[in-house]
Structure 1
Amino acid sequence: MSSLVQLENVSFNYGKNATILRDIDFSIQKNSFVSILGPSGCGKSTLLNLIAGFHSTYEGRIEFEGKQVRKPSKDQGFVFQDLALFPWLSVYKNVEFGLKMQKIHKQTRDLKVKKMIEMVGLSDYHSFPISSLSGGMKQRVALARTLVTEPDLLLLDEPFSALDAQTRDVLQDELLSLHTNLNTTTLLVTHSIDEAIYLSDKVVLLDKNGTVKDIVSIELERPRDRTSTDYNFYQRKLYDFLKDERLSPRKGED
């Protein structure tokens, strides 16, 4: 597989004395599912924002589809942690929004929106306002609104963190199904060891200094059995990494 995203020696600073990310090197292959895992404050979301083009100044090089990233691209879709939906609009109008901004013809928009709403299991809720939906349903709308524009890269910033465990498990399976059926390359930021293992082909481990400590390939067939010995092996490996990060000092500390 060829690389869709390539990062080389990427560093990022907030001001002169606040280095968030240091010397980041990794690539994301087309159609793969990659997660970024690390302790709070290590720069996971910042790294996602850099790849999305939300920050134009950084050291090193980030390439998306062979071109250096300096601004957002319509070929990247971003699902924010707070979802950023329009609560006064219906499910249909929310999902339609991106296509409308792209000036897609109304008839084509209608076909795409209805198909995507069906794919996320909300066919009976076209006209419902967002404010009337559950958390899990809102998350489905956010995914549909992003995926309906057919992005080459889907970026997710802890999309399931506020959901209960049962809803989160269901949506993880739905996300995998969408990822497979739409051939979308997916990059997920998560705090959850289980989520990273269950969803990912590879997990990028960021340490508290904002450097890549390791990249772990998850060599498990799908669907994955959370009770298996092999699954537990990866849980222990990632748990030990996070435990070590909690106990070790940040760079520059005594």
Structure 2
Amino acid sequence: MSALVQLENVAFNYTPDSPILNNINFEIENNTFVTILGPSGCGKSTLLNLIAGFIPTSNGSIKVDEKHVKAPSEERGFVFQDLALFPWLSVYKNVEFGLKMQNIPKEKRDQKVKEMIELVGLSSYSNFPISSLSGGMKQRVALARTLATEPNILLLDEPFSALDAQTRDVLQEELLALHQKLSMTTMLVTHSIDEAIYLSDTIILLSKNGTIKEIVQIDIDKPRDRTSSSYNDYQKKLYEFLRNERQQS
């Protein structure tokens, strides 16, 4: 069976003299959690945007579910770093938005929205305006809105970066539980070594020059003990990678 996501010789540059990504090759299997980790400016978010179809490749091909990525699609759900919620609308209306754009019938739409809001633990807040919610609750709404359209893959661009450490840990646990419950292929961009190890089956290490340095498999059972020696070994390895990248910049 083919991998869900396939990148072959992918490159991207804004101008011929400004290469961002080069010779990117990897595959993502169904139901796995993959993280892109690397120093600032290495092209992590650009790579995620290429897979989402927001921008075209300069070279190479990207396939999702054996179809070439040419444009954005509801099959590729995207959670933005700034969440892109509508603060004047309620939780319900925000989660409903994507389904309305797809012209889903109202009865089916209502059922799906309620299901997704319950899934992220916000049933009591369905009619609350987004502007009244905490950062963690807003993040749950963004996840519910994206999941409501039933994408084949969930793409997350540093979704927890603006949150405090405690909220971030809670949402990491909730995201992991959702990933396992829905058996959804998930791809995350992060600067956090700990976040990458805690969540991922596979970590793609992206170098400052926009190439893949290494693809690391995390062989620790989930949920993971952050205090274990094996967890610490991965932390050391990834810290060393980022430290070397900083020294070369």
What TM-score, normalized by structure 2, do the two folds share?
Answer: 0.98
Which residue does the alignment assign to 1:203?
203
Contact kept? 2:153, 2:186, Cα under 8 Å: yes
Equivalent-residue separation in structure 2 for 1:9 and 1:57 (angstroms): 10
Q: CA deviation at 1:246?
A: 0.6
2-structure distance, mates of 1:182, 1:95: 18
Contact kept in structure 1, 2:22 and 2:211, CA below 8 Å: yes
- Which amino acid letter does the alignment assign opposite residue 200 of structure 2? S
Residue aligning to 1:194: 194
The equivalent residue for 1:163 is 163
2:3, 2:57 → 1: CA distance?
23
Could you tell me how far apart the structure 2 residues matched to 1:57 and 1:200 are? 26
* 1:191-243 Cα distance to aligned partner (Å, 9 max, x none): 00000000000000000000000000000001100000000010001000000
Instruction: Give, in angstroms, the shift of residue 46 of structure 1.
Output: 0.3
The answer to whether the Cα contact below 8 Å between 1:2 and 1:30 also exists between their aligned partners in 2 is no
1:119-168, Cα deviation, whole Å (9 max, x unpaired): 10101100000000000000000000000111000000000000001100
Q: In structure 2, what is the equivalent of residue 252 of structure 1?
A: none
Distance 1:165 1:57 in 2: 35
Structure 2 unmatched ranges of 5 or more = none
Moved over 3 A (4+): none
Aligned residues: 249
Q: Percent identity?
A: 71
Q: CA deviation at 1:2?
A: 3.9
Q: Is the 8 A contact 1:57 1:70 kept in 2?
A: no
Map residues 1-254 of structure 1 onto 2, 5 A cutoff: 2-249=2-249
Unaligned 5+ runs, structure 1? 250-254
- RMSD of aligned alpha carbons: 0.9
- The alignment partner of 1:114 has SS state of helix
Contact in 1 for aligned 2:11/2:57 (Cα 8 Å): no
Deviation at 1:15, TM superposition (A): 1.1
